[in-house]
Structure 1
Amino acid sequence: MNNDIVPGFDEDRDDSLKISLDKLDDVENGVLITLNGYIDTYNSVYFQKQIGKVISAGKYNLIFGCSSLNYVSSTGIGSFTSFLKLVKPKGGDIVLMNIQPKVYEVFQLLGFSQFFNIKSNMADALGYFTQGGENVSVSAFPKVVSCPVCSRRLKATKSGRFRCSDCKSIIAIDQSGHVFLG
């Protein structure tokens, strides 16, 4: 099926990272790239080669489905950055969707979270492209959240990792305002 969207895509495989493609009918030159596994130094060459095939096939508007992406190293983030550099001059863009909190934290720690369009659902990801690259979702912040350990109400002005003022637990708040133990 991937070969129907990008000829020759399924010729290469890697057990640590499964990549599947779905055509996006509502987005010109768009494709949903679902990632399952992890991206590190050892499989990043495979990852770059596969996404390079997608871009070479004229797909410049990429939505990466990351709900099953368990880990991304700094090398993997570098791969995403190189894809962005390839599609931007062609009028394309990248959206990262459903990033797990641990993976999002790596993007934040390395200072890359502001370079990428990160959305929490398909409607917002598609909306980014169909609304001309504008953010169509309203910011979740400031927001009052409850500590998952002691239920203390805390005010969050942005996403990130914080320490509860009562129980001192570390909590993570994603860009959508969801709270996790961090």
Structure 2
Amino acid sequence: MSGNNEIVAGFDIEKDDSLKIRLQKIDSVKGCLVLYLTGYIDTYNSNLFQKRVNKAIESGYTRLIFHCGSLNYVSSTGIGSFTAFLKTVKPRGGNLVLLEIQPKVYEVFQLLGFSQFFNIKDNLDEAVAFFESEGETKSSDIFPKIFRCPICSKKLKATKAGRFRCSECKTILAIDNTGQVFLG
């Protein structure tokens, strides 16, 4: 994992086997970094998680993509970490995207009411495109938008911004003019 230290100096000085993080720089977007998370985030390892990610932010990475496909569990403390990152990068012109969130992890975000604050995308291409087009989005470029229901993963299509119900699980969803999907 020496590659992490080449991207962010000293990133792997402190490690915890309960949460492994692999970094990937996105060259096409200034200050963009993918963090592949494997394991879990809870009260015991969230401080180290925050220290490591803040090291990346201090190195100039303010557009963060958290790949959560191998993240098995996130406690409320872990969600607090993501919220802290968002508060840190927003004033610096950055943002945060979460990818491939496991249903049980997404449920924690949803139960705590945080799912609407985060940009959640289906894959890395969508996340990179989000950052590439940030600030220059036109409604005609976004719609019709095909996306997956954050609850049941059914493929859905929105022709315009507004509120509607998932045809599969009946969850009420909202989609804004930028194409962001939220619950309710």
* TM-score calculated relative to the size of structure 1: 0.78
Q: Does 1:112 align with 2:107?
A: no
- The 2-side partners of 1:6 and 1:118 are apart by 24
**1:156 and 1:44, CA in 2 relative to 1: closer, same or farther beyond 3 A?**
closer
Q: Which residue number corresponds to residue 31 of structure 1? A: 33
| Residue of structure 1 aligned with 2:132, choices 119, 130, 133 | 130
Partner in structure 2 of residue 144 of structure 1: 167
* Corresponding residue for residue 14 of structure 2: 12
Match of 1:148 in 2: none
**SS at structure 1 position matched to 2:84:** helix
Aligned residue pairs total: 153
Letter in 2 for 1:45: N
- Deviation track 1:90-130 (CA, whole Å, cap 9, x = no partner) reads 00000000000100000000000000001111121111111
Aligned to 1:83: 85
Pick from 61, 64, 79 the counterpart of residue 62 of structure 1: 64
Over 2 Å off, 4+ runs:
133-145, 154-159
Give the C-alpha shift of residue 157 in structure 1: 3.9
Cross-structure match for 1:97: 99
Using the TM superposition, give the Cα deviation of residue 144 of structure 1 relative to its aligned residue in structure 2, in angstroms. 2.8
The partner residue of 1:158 within 160, 173, 176 is 173
Offset at 1:44?
0.3
Separation of aligned partners in 2, 1:156 and 1:114: 14
C-alpha distance in 1, partners of 2:124/2:167? 25
Letter in 2 for 1:113: S
TM (norm. structure 2) is 0.77
For residue 36 of structure 2, give the secondary structure of its aligned residue in structure 1: strand
How far apart are the structure 1 equivalents of 2:54 and 2:118?
18
Give the Cα–Cα distance (whole angstroms) in 2 for the partners of residues 123 and 26 of structure 1. Answer: 12
What's the RMSD between the two structures over aligned residues?
Answer: 2.1
